[in-house]
């Protein structure tokens, strides 16, 4: 399955993506290809993975014909270099996209990247994407057609409205929502009235999309998460008894 994690900037998408990956690993849903598609490239740090080079580095080098042997085609060279960018871990591999395109035309290179990602994704049980704000990667079709779209909102009204607008844009582009849309209420307490209101706001702006939410998950503020992020430690190693991990234990693919 393809599982993009989307939402307004600053709502905690990377944290939720790391917790979702943790959940997939602990339930045996492996191997997983984790793609950091946000230009800020924070997923590696959240997973405790060192990232030295990104797909953007190789894309720029290919476009500018840097280092490619004359005997090797652009397609062959890109596939070789992208395998080098992939960081292999226990139960998952991490691919970091890096910064957006610079000046000039990247159409040919981006087409090669899409083909490579399509082929690469077939080698994994699931593909989990930490997306940039909005649905840019989905609208450009660089993430494929999602099976489960995970929308994240914080306590801010504008964050819920952003979810609704994104779902509306997706419907305009593709004619319908993905087979499953989940909503993660990040930083809420269980049973909180404002959580119900935020869920409704996201649905109203999306033209009633809240009815399509397969699962609504409330993830409370968790000091353990903040402490590990400040220390640069992996969220995959969080204590199972911490509030965020216990909340995420309610999330299932079935």
Between 177 and 71, residue with greater pLDDT: 177
Mean pLDDT, residues 102-123 = 66
> Tell me, what's the pLDDT at 106?
47
Question: Is the pLDDT assigned to residue 108 strictly greater than 90?
Answer: no
Between 233 and 59, residue with greater pLDDT: 233
Question: Is the pLDDT assigned to residue 136 strictly greater than 70?
Answer: no
Question: Is the pLDDT assigned to residue 212 strictly greater than 80?
Answer: no
- For the chain, the structural domain boundaries read 2-248
What does the block give as tokens for 68?
Answer: 């490619």
> Tell me, what's the pLDDT at 69?
72
Q: Residue 76's pLDDT band (boundaries 50, 70, 90)?
A: confident
Cα gap 88→137, rounded to integer Å:
23
> Tell me, what's the pLDDT at 99?
73
> Tell me, what's the pLDDT at 195?
92
In Å, how far are 2, 29, 99 from 180, measured between CA atoms?
11, 18, 29
Query: Domain 2-248 carries which CATH code?
Result: 3.40.50.300
The beta strand positions in 89-190, using DSSP E, are: 92-96, 126-131, 148-153, 180-186
pLDDT digits (tens, 9 = 90+) for 156-191: 999 999 898 888 888 887 888 888 999 999 999 888
| Contact by Cβ (8 Å): 196, 210 | no
Cα gap 183→198, rounded to integer Å:
10
Question: Is the pLDDT assigned to residue 151 strictly greater than 90?
Answer: yes
- Write down the mean pLDDT value for the chain: 84
Residue 12: phi and psi, rounded to 5, are 100, 30
Percent of the chain surpassing pLDDT 70: 83
What does the block give as tokens for 88?
Answer: 């292999």
Q: Residue 16's pLDDT band (boundaries 50, 70, 90)?
A: very high
Question: Is the pLDDT assigned to residue 67 strictly greater than 70?
Answer: no
Cα gap 166→161, rounded to integer Å:
9
Between 55 and 24, residue with greater pLDDT: 24
| Contact by Cβ (8 Å): 146, 4 | yes
In Å, how far are 8, 34, 93, 212, 216 from 118, measured between CA atoms?
26, 14, 15, 27, 29
Q: Residue 249's pLDDT band (boundaries 50, 70, 90)?
A: very high
In Å, how far are 58, 73, 102, 207, 229 from 99, measured between CA atoms?
11, 25, 9, 33, 22
């Amino acid at each position: 399955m393809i599982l993009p994690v989307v939402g307004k900037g600053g709502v905690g998408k990377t944290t939720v993506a790391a917790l979702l990956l943790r959940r997939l690993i602990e339930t045996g849903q492996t191997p997983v290809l984790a793609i950091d598609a946000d230009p800020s490239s924070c997923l590696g740090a959240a997973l405790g993975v060192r990232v030295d080079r990104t797909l953007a580095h190789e894309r720029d080098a290919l476009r500018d014909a840097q280092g490619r042997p004359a005997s090797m085609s652009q397609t062959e060279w890109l596939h070789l270099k992208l395998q080098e960018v992939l960081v292999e871990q226990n139960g998952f591999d991490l691919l970091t996209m890096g910064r957006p395109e610079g000046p000039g035309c990247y159409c040919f290179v981006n087409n090669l990247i899409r083909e490579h990602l399509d082929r690469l994704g077939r080698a994994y049980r699931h593909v989990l994407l930490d997306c940039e704000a909005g649905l840019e990667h989905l609208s450009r079709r660089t993430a494929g057609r999602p099976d489960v779209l995970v929308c994240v909102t914080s306590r801010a009204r504008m964050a819920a409205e952003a979810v609704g607008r994104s779902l509306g844009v997706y419907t305009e582009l593709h004619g319908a929502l993905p087979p499953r849309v989940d909503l993660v209420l990040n930083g809420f307490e269980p049973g909180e009235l404002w959580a119900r209101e935020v869920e409704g706001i996201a649905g109203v702006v999306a033209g009633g999309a809240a009815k399509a939410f397969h699962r609504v998950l409330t993830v409370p503020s968790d000091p353990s998460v903040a402490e590990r992020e400040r220390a640069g430690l992996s969220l995959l190693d969080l204590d199972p008894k911490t509030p965020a991990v216990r909340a995420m234990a309610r999330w299932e693919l079935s």
